Structure 1
Amino acid sequence: MSADAAAPEEDPRRRIPRTDHLMADPAVARAAAAMGEKVVLGVVRAAQDRARRGEISPDEVTDAVLDALGTRTASSLRPVLNATGVVVHTNLGRAPLSPLAQQALLDAAGYTDVEFDLATGARSRRGAAARAALLAACPGAEDALIVNNGAAALALATTALAGTGEVVISRGELIEIGAGFRLPDLIASTGTRIREVGATNRTHLADYTRAIDGGAAAVLRIHASNYRITGFTSSVPVAELAGPCRDAGIPLIVDIGSGLFAPDPLLPDEPDLPSALADGADLVLASGDKLLGGPQAGILLGRADIIARLARHPLARAMRADKLALAAIEATLEGPTPPVLAYLRTDPSALRERTERLAARVGGEVVPHDGRVGGGGGAEVPISGWALALPAALAPLLRGGDPAIVGTVRDGRCLLDLRCIPEELDGTVAQTVAAALTEAQGKAD
């Protein structure tokens, strides 16, 4: 037997490039300087593991590392194109920011004068410019406060204004929102006691006044934004509640949820901040990332003395908005119409024309499709529009595309609604759909 025949076959895994050799590659080293050594080490080890499993050859490891680094993003969050027709889509990040608000985020990413007066060199009120923008947008408010989200605004308001006393709420407003989150549980967790009044479908002024006379610390109205009760119903307008609350010397808190700064004919049942204050609310709460069209934040507007009480409460520090949210809110309020409101007001005929052009390029059927506000706003209000109907099998391929496109699967079809996609990206949508169709055809063959 020859020596060559007796020699054992070399294990190909021994040829996998060593970690230090890969990290020394000039392109990999530049990536490590930009992204951080820990991130790049993870990419290197993932490529080595692929080679150990036999998915790639040892000679392909370096190229696999460079390819992965070339497509690596700053975070694991992937941008998506929202083709669902749901404008404020909670699972897709709610409100998309305007270009001006995006620029504000970049400008605020470094050191800023968020709590500093450049003229005097002294400490200043945090987020003064964002506060001023809120007050300019809602002149009926005496003061404003911004916290990190809508739930924080509600928790702070009830804790600071009612404490361990009773807050009065109609039974028809004991709301559960997404993921099983119940607002009554949030309020109760702060130590505030809830005094339920009325029935699920009907609450009268006398129900409130009995509770107020019984020693309530505050009255809370919560807009039933994500559902409707119809039929034999009754509720008490804010304007009617304001008098008894004022006579008893207790605050009337109104949580409108969605954050409209003016009545919108498209959403006639959706309350707005100025109207709630004009009707006598002492404090109004709203979310920044719904119909306001800005970043996640909790907006509190109302009487100066009440805002001062909230700002002094220890929870205010734990719930305060960061500099990025403050910058984006200011830019949203002072800039052009935010994308959320622009998408809601999309002309149906223009939407149909865009959808027909897409169909002419990739096939499919143009069908009527009602959009929705989403995010717990405009419950059951359809927004007339159109969608492109494609085979349902394309939905996962589009979600895995570049860019990812999220549509709606219904009745065995994948529906793509262009309402929330900027028109300049229609060509990108067409290319991604065409690629998905080709991939689906290849799998079928």
Structure 2
Amino acid sequence: MSVLFRHLPSMDRLLRHLEADPELAGRPRAMLRDLADGFLGLLREEIRSGALTAEDELALERMLPRLTAFVRLKSRPHFRRVLNATGVVIHTNLGRSCLAEAATEAVIDACRNYSNLEFDLATGKRGSRYAHVEEILCRITGAEAALVVNNNASAVLITLDTLAKDREVIVSRGQLVEIGGSFRIPDVMRKSGATLVEVGATNRTHLRDYENAVTENTGMLLKVHCSNFRIIGFTKEVPLAELVTLGRSRGIPVVEDLGSGNFFDFARIPGLALSEPTVPQTVASGADVVTFSGDKVLGGPQAGIIVGRKKWIDKIKKNPLNRALRIDKMTLAALEATFRLYLDMDRAREEIPTLSMITASADELRAKARSLAARLRRELAGRASVSTRPGASRVGGGSFPEYDLPTTLVAVDPAAPVSVEALRAALLAVDPPLVGRVEEGSLLLDPRTLRRDEFPLAASALIQGLDSAGPATERH
């Protein structure tokens, strides 16, 4: 064992090799040194365990390929690109909505250069960062005023804190939702200092329930759109317009949390049975304040958007919390570029990836699946059988929870001895990782969320995955 330890390559020799590798160019020397030291530690452990027993196995030329692979793997950024073949368009765990090209370019421009973030070019004095998006937001929603914070949870929090702190907020019992990460409406309300007043039953709430609950200490009527679940059967909820009438008669603001902000009328697309209220429709119904997310169905960056009547929005703007929840220049740039696309709905559908994916036709998806399957058969060369089958996609992000979107799936069944589960796990370690889903014994890839220009990357990922999922002797 001591002889084997003396045959370990020196740190200097390992570093010279790593620094000469063009694929590792730009890695700091300190990082390479740490990784080389980690590789040597791995070799020492293999010597101690008896996994390494021969001196020639420690020869530098034998070690270099393994060293390079080790360093490339360990030096990759922790946060990186993933290929989404799950068919879930707004995949919360994979970053939700992808930005339109125009929004991406706007973010890059905002990052590379100085900007008029808080500088009024008309007066040469300090300006407001929110002015960059408020006008266009009011134009496309029909609202009198608007404000943007860093996510919709923040939008709900600051609205409650401003309009109902130390007062009562009336909510239907069936709308006390919990979304991802154990975020619950009652918890946010408690944090804001408001007191929750539940009315109605889980499945049925009437206008009289709200009327009977109103007191001199009522600060808000809150309607929460149940975007991530449905109660079906013997149900009833009070239409927003009726709540608005009640609120106006009692001088109480009516707030609707839409959750997933939607500007596109999906009913206009043949065969697409998606029906949700849009933001402009909700504003037109008379809600005093409407809150929604920027990175769900809207298809923009993470943001919490607040629109409504000027008298209430102005109060929210003055809340000291606004400073803590404000958005940065990159979010502003992406939002403005995304909102500009919505000035032309046909262009928005074409250029905003979220809308384009949701509204993709059955024929388009069938053609994409056949193209992907043909490529995989050619490149996998018999290492897996590849076929297509009908299936379903999901919108995701808590939106349209009960709707399946028809699609055509590509099924990949690896040849023995590689199992489907082993392949699925191996695909998470390749570069870039490929995330699909396993159903009925097959790895399924949904072309709805995989762009055509990503097909070569998907094929490469599968080759890498099959290589690493095979027996150790085969891999060596």
Superposition TM-score, scaled by structure 1 size: 0.88
CA distance in 1, matches of 2:229, 2:466: 38
Match in the other structure for 1:194: 196
Size of the aligned set, in residue pairs, is 435
Q: What does 1:231-380 align with in structure 2 at a 5 Å threshold? A: 231-265=233-267, 266=272, 268-335=274-341, 336=348, 337-360=351-374, 361-362=376-377, 363-380=385-402
**CA distance in 2: counterparts of 1:38 and 1:271, whole angstroms:** 54
1:203-254 deviation per Cα after TM superposition (whole angstroms, max 9, x unaligned): 0011111222453100110001111101110001111110110121111110
Instruction: Check 1:121–1:24 CA distance in 2 against 1; reply closer, same or farther (3 A cut).
Output: farther
Partners in 2 of 1:356 and 1:323 — Cα distance? 42
Query: What are the within-5 Å matches in structure 2 for residues 165-244 of structure 1?
Result: 165-213=167-215, 215-244=217-246
How far, CA to CA, are the matches of 1:204 and 1:409 in structure 2?
A: 44
For residues 379-423 of structure 1, the C-alpha deviation after alignment (integer angstroms, 9 at most, x for no partner) is 111111111122333322322233211111122222110101112
Structure 1 stretches lacking a partner, 5+ long: 1-7
Q: 2: distance between equivalents of 1:57 and 1:359? A: 42
Question: Residue 101 and residue 27 in structure 1: after superposition, are their counterparts in 2 closer, same or farther (change >3 A)?
Answer: farther
Residue 74 to residue 303, structure 1, CA distance change in 2 (3 Å): farther
Which deviates more, 351-360 or 376-385?
Answer: 351-360
Which of 129, 145, 151 matches 1:149? 151
1:348 & 1:278 partners in 2: Cα distance? 34
Quick check: 1:158–1:192 contact (8 Å CA) kept in 2? yes
Deviates more, 1:55-64 or 1:208-217: 55-64
Higher share of residues assigned strand: 2
Change (3 A) 1:334 1:74: farther
**Aligned partners of 1:260 and 1:292 also within 8 Å:** yes
The match for 1:12 is 6
Look up the equivalent residue of 2:394 and give its one-letter code: R
Corresponding residue for residue 3 of structure 1: none
Deviates more, 1:217-226 or 1:105-114: 105-114
Q: State the percentage of identical aligned residues.
A: 38
1:346 shift after superposition:
0.8
Give the distance between the partners of 1:36 and 1:209, measured in 2 at CA.
Answer: 66
In 2, are the aligned partners of 1:22 and 1:28 still within 8 Å (CA)? no
- d(CA) in 2 for partners of 1:166, 1:13: 75
Give the aligned residue type for 1:148: N
2:218 aligned counterpart, secondary structure: coil
What's 2:124 paired with?
121
Conservation of the 8 A alpha-carbon contact between 1:28 and 1:40: no
Counterpart amino acid of 1:413?
A: S
Tell me the equivalent position of 2:41: 49
| Distance in 2 between residues matched to 1:330 and 1:74, nearest whole Å | 32
Contact 2:8 2:58 in 1 (8 A): no
CA contact (8 A) 1:27 1:66 kept: no
Structure 2's unaligned 5+ residue stretches are 47-51, 342-347, 378-384, 414-419
**Deviation of the 1:17 alpha carbon:** 1.5
C-alpha distance in 2, partners of 1:321/1:59? 52
Aligned to 2:88: 86
- For the 8 Å contact 1:198–1:204, the answer to whether it is kept is yes
Give the match for residue 137 of structure 1: 140
How far is 1:276 from its partner? 0.7
User: How far apart are 1:81 and its partner, in Å?
Assistant: 1.1
Computed over aligned residues only, the root mean square deviation of the Cα atoms, in angstroms, reads: 3.0
- Note if contact 1:408-1:415 (Cα within 8 Å) is conserved in structure 2: yes
Instruction: Give the secondary structure class of the aligned counterpart of 2:409.
Output: strand
Which of 396, 402, 406 in structure 1 is aligned with 2:425? 396
CA contact under 8 A between 1:397 and 1:436: conserved in structure 2?
yes
CA distance in 2, matches of 1:49, 1:211: 68
Of 34-43 and 76-85, the range deviating more from structure 2: 34-43
Letter in structure 1 aligned against 2:401: A
Give how far 1:75 is off: 3.5
1:126-146 CA deviation, whole Å, 9 max, x = no partner? Answer: 1322223322322x1111111
Q: Is the 8 A contact 1:173 1:222 kept in 2?
A: yes
